[in-house]
Amino acid sequence: MYVVRVEDLNVSVNGEYVIKNFNLLVSPNSIVLVRGPSGSGKSTLLKVLVGLIPNVYRKFRVDGFIEVLGLSPVEAVKEGLIAYIPQDMTTFFLGSRVCDEFEVLGRWLDDFKGLSDRYVSELSDGQLYKLLISTAMLSGVKLLLLDEPTSHMDKYSLINMMSSIRRLCSEVGLTVLLVDHRVELIRDYVDVVISLGSEEVGLRRISKGGRFSVDGYSVVVKDLWFDYDGYEVFRGLNMFVRCGEVFSVLGRNGSGKSTLLKILANILKVRRGYVSVSKPIFYIPQRPIYWFTTNSVYDEVNLYIKVFRRDDDVDEVLKVFKINYLSSRNPYTLSVGEVRRLSLALAYITSPKTLLIDEPTLGLDSTSLGVLEWFLDVFRGSRSVVLATHNEGIKELVDNSLTLGFDHDVNQ
């Protein structure tokens, strides 16, 4: 008997196919990875398997045979056999604090004792991911559906998680289906890799640069101290980013990367320390993933061109960022990778002196990574970019970096 059986699956919305003729068989106690580029329908597949599509999202049309643990997806969810962990996790908690989640379960998780009084909104994505997986395990699920775990977890947390999942597969009969595009990080732990859609690589260059002449430092942080209600994040942090430099802030989940970016963007105020950032700033947050104004990708790009009085051509920008095929789509219906490309396009139009990107590789496939690489090259030398990420692979794309540790140790 298969844990997941999908035959001739077709998923469409408004007559457009998201998934076409897809077949999948998942054996018990196995870990299956479905890979594919942004927008290939990976997240949609998980939503179909958990019954969200078409039971919650009724506009979708689903044809084909789907069976999960011998039941329909809705019945399997009713029985509490499936746990699904999406990309945007903050909305997946009903309680404000971590302890609220423990109240629901009626049990405490020792690993999270230190975080129990913290607000969910203050936790990093990696911490949220670990919390969701741990609570799912406690609920006795048989099938775990994970959407892009590598985007949310640092290398060490990811290895720990995959090792414990591997162990649980043999010990308690857990089966795992995950969708991701960074196969290399989890290849050793996966039994089967299945592809959805095809990836294309390559970018056309357009000239951009030299709008500003720069020298000196664009970001200066001296003796920065910061805490969340006594939970200390920075103790005397120093950081310097030269003008025209692409700089990365590295660190494990919860080490304060996003907090630092919010401080640089002046969203969080500091009580002690000196922070100076060259303005104008453009900030691409890790969450919320969606923060757009208009009803189409075209209108969104056009809006920024008008507001910033640029002479860029909308179609040209859409082509460069590989989102021209999405021009009529509502930004809120895009996949995470597509949203990140749109965000980069908006940053490109505004041409800020300092660009802050939180988790730049979030949801990016090889096409999107190519866009990011090109984008950083365009900015390099004329403007400064600060990237906060747990992905150490980003070091290859940056000029300088700083690593945040848990004991407030910093390496630049």
Partner 1 sequence: MTLINDVKELLTKEYLIKYKLVVITSLLILIIVVTLLDSLTLIATALAIVVIIYIMRCLRDFILTMKVFTLFILPFITSSLTIQLFLDLLDVSRIILSTLKMFLLYILSITLIKLITFKDLLSMVKYLGLKPVLILILGFRIINLGITTLNDITSIYNVNLGIVSKGFKRKLILIKLVTQAFIQSFIVRVLDMGEAIYCRYRSVLKRLGG
Shortest Cβ distance from residue 293 to partner 1 (Å)?
5
Shortest Cβ distance from residue 362 to partner 1 (Å)?
16
Which is closer to partner 1, CB of 139 or CB of 163?
A: 139
> CA separation (Å) from 165 to 109, 145, 207, 220?
17, 12, 47, 42
Residue 288 engages partner 1 in binding (rule: CB under 8 A):
yes
Shortest Cβ distance from residue 259 to partner 1 (Å)?
13
Which is closer to partner 1, CB of 189 or CB of 363?
A: 363
Please name the amino acid found at residue 20.
K
What does the alpha-carbon distance between residue 218 and residue 251 come to, in Å, rounded to a whole number? Answer: 22
Contact yes or no for 278/243 (Cβ under 8 A): yes
Q: Which of 37, 86, 126, 337 binds partner 1 (CB under 8 A)?
A: 86
**Cα angle: 49, vertex 390, 352; to 5 degrees:** 105
Stretch that binds partner 1, among 29-37, 109-117, 154-162, 291-299 (CB under 8 A): 291-299
Stretch that binds partner 1, among 92-100, 110-118, 157-165, 173-181 (CB under 8 A): 92-100
Which is closer to partner 1, CB of 158 or CB of 356?
A: 356
Q: For the chain, percent helix, then strand, then coil, each to nearest 5?
A: 35, 30, 35
> CA separation (Å) from 283 to 139, 223, 295?
38, 23, 21
Shortest Cβ distance from residue 397 to partner 1 (Å)?
23
Residue 328 engages partner 1 in binding (rule: CB under 8 A):
no
User: Which residues does 393 contact at the CB level (< 8 Å), separation at least 6?
Assistant: 361
Residues in the chain: 412
Contact yes or no for 122/227 (Cβ under 8 A): no
Q: How many CA atoms lie within 13 A of 228 on its CB side?
A: 17
Residue 100 engages partner 1 in binding (rule: CB under 8 A):
yes
- Beta pairing partners, 246: 385
Shortest Cβ distance from residue 147 to partner 1 (Å)?
11
Residue 307 engages partner 1 in binding (rule: CB under 8 A):
yes
Residue 23 engages partner 1 in binding (rule: CB under 8 A):
no
User: Which residues does 14 contact at the CB level (< 8 Å), separation at least 6?
Assistant: 59
Which is closer to partner 1, CB of 323 or CB of 369?
A: 323
Residue 96 engages partner 1 in binding (rule: CB under 8 A):
yes
Residue 104 engages partner 1 in binding (rule: CB under 8 A):
yes
- Beta pairing partners, 33: 178, 193
Binding positions for partner 1, rule: CB under 8 A: 50-52, 55-56, 77-80, 82-84, 86, 88, 90-96, 100, 103-105, 119, 121, 139, 229, 262, 265-267, 279-283, 285, 287-288, 290-294, 303, 307-308, 332, 346, 350
